[in-house]
Amino acid sequence: MLRRLSVENYALIDKLEMELDPHLNIITGETGAGKSILLGALGLLLGAKNDGAAMKDAARNCSVEGTFDLEGSGLEAYFAENDLDYAAETTLTRVITPAGKSRAFINDVPVSLSQLREVGTRLVDIHSQHQNLILSSEEFRTSA
């Protein structure tokens, strides 16, 4: 479960710190309020491709950091198999340099982008507008 999100130099965001409730978090707002920007930053943290246009200031690093409560996540074995230090409170970090290079970290240990993606997909489930349409796909219903 995502407990804290920190975003720096991403799109219109200079610096943002968010503490999230341990229960349900719903992000709403009018058109143009920044909901998609926030989801884009979260996607970047979870290993989404960097399109290069994400930086507010092209001379500074863009960073997104999320602190997660891993209790009940079942990730202990994955961490052990990948020589990562497991902690009940774990921090994922993604940094994009001005040159466009991407660096990823789990608990301050450098990891590959695929490792960041693997952990991220086990931690976050994002439901956005029209995503319920995937439920009508037979491939989706039989992929578990």
Q: 2-141, what's its fold? A: Rossmann fold (3.40.50)
Instruction: Write the pLDDT tens digit of every residue in 69-125.
Output: 998 888 999 999 999 999 999 999 999 999 989 999 999 999 999 999 999 988 887
- End-to-end Cα distance, the chain: 21
The amino acid that residue 143 corresponds to is S
Proportion of the chain above pLDDT 90, given as a percent: 56
Q: What is the pLDDT of residue 27?
A: 82
- 101 contact partners, CB below 8 Å, separation of at least 6: none
Domain ranges of the chain: 2-141
Q: What is the pLDDT of residue 29?
A: 83
Token look-up 């992929």 returns 143
